[in-house]
Amino acid sequence: MAALKFARSGLILALASGITLTSNLALADTEKAVFAGGCFWCMEEAFDKIEGVTKTTSGYTGGTTENPTYKEVGGGNTQHAEALEVEYDTDIVDYNDLLYVFWRNIDPFVENRQFCDSGSEYRSALFPLDDAQREAAEASKVAVAEHFGEPIATEINAAATFYPAEEYHQDYHNRNPVRYRLYKNGCGRPDRLEEIWGDEAAPSEVPDA
């Protein structure tokens, strides 16, 4: 009987701990942002490095086709872009921080392409989800243009339905590291980012304010 009471007490304690953990998670203030920067595998890797990013999802947005497939988007007739939905803890990182990461992981000067991938599905674009994000996105684009003294091709599009990509695309850089690295390096992404951004290219953290 004593053993049974101890087991029951342990179960109650475990359940209580679980409830507390769930409550703490529920208190986290998270928001979402959507970015298109060419290959979503590469953008997922870029944002997964950033402290405060709690989840990344590769997918498609900005087009007219409902529930598009990778083959359909790649065919270039859906108007969708390969994109990344980023969920982040606003107590740790904010939208302006994410914009910093976004710009330094793309080539902002080219239209309807990124690195070796061409077509409107590989365009670079921001999809602000509210007025505050739009204002920040527009200000960041102006700042990048002023920094380089050149026109910026990156679009700022209206928010649209985000469709998660097929499961085999999710977390691709971790699931298939060898193939991923061969693609990324063969596409010239690291070299071109360094050419544009220098030491700021593809940051693993955001600078202190």
pLDDT in tens, 141-182: 999 999 999 999 999 999 999 999 999 999 999 999 999 999
Tokens encoding 192: 């071109």
What is the CB neighbour count within 10 angstroms for residue 176? 14
Amino acid at 157: N
Residue 186 pLDDT > 50, yes or no?
Answer: yes
Q: Which residues, 6+ apart, have CB-to-CB distance to 204 below 8 Å? A: 49, 50
Instruction: Compute the mean pLDDT over every residue in the chain, rounded to the nearest whole number.
Output: 90
DSSP, residue by residue, 123-169: -EEE--SSHHHHHHHHHHHHHHHHHHTS----EE------EEPPGGG
* Per-residue pLDDT band at 209 (split at 50, 70, 90): low
Beta-bridged to residue 45, according to DSSP, are none
The two counts, helices (H) then strands (E), for the chain are: 8, 8
Amino acid 11: pLDDT: 36
What is the CB neighbour count within 10 angstroms for residue 69? 14
Q: What is the mean pLDDT of residues 39-51?
A: 98
Place of tokens 């050419």: 195
Please give the Cα distance from 91 to 75 (Å, whole number): 40
* Per-residue pLDDT band at 103 (split at 50, 70, 90): very high
Amino acid 208: pLDDT: 83
Amino acid 104: pLDDT: 98
pTM summary value: 0.86
* Per-residue pLDDT band at 9 (split at 50, 70, 90): very low
Q: Are 206 and 50 in contact (CB under 8 A)?
A: yes
Give 107: exposed, middle or buried? Use CB within 10 Å, 0-12, 13-18, 19+.
buried
Distances (CA, A) of 67 to 18, 164, 171: 36, 8, 20
Residue 13 pLDDT > 50, yes or no?
Answer: no
Please give the Cα distance from 141 to 19 (Å, whole number): 44
Question: What are the catalytic residues?
Answer: 39
Residue 188 pLDDT > 90, yes or no?
Answer: yes
* Per-residue pLDDT band at 8 (split at 50, 70, 90): very low
Q: What is the mean pLDDT of residues 115-141?
A: 98
Please give the Cα distance from 30 to 24 (Å, whole number): 13
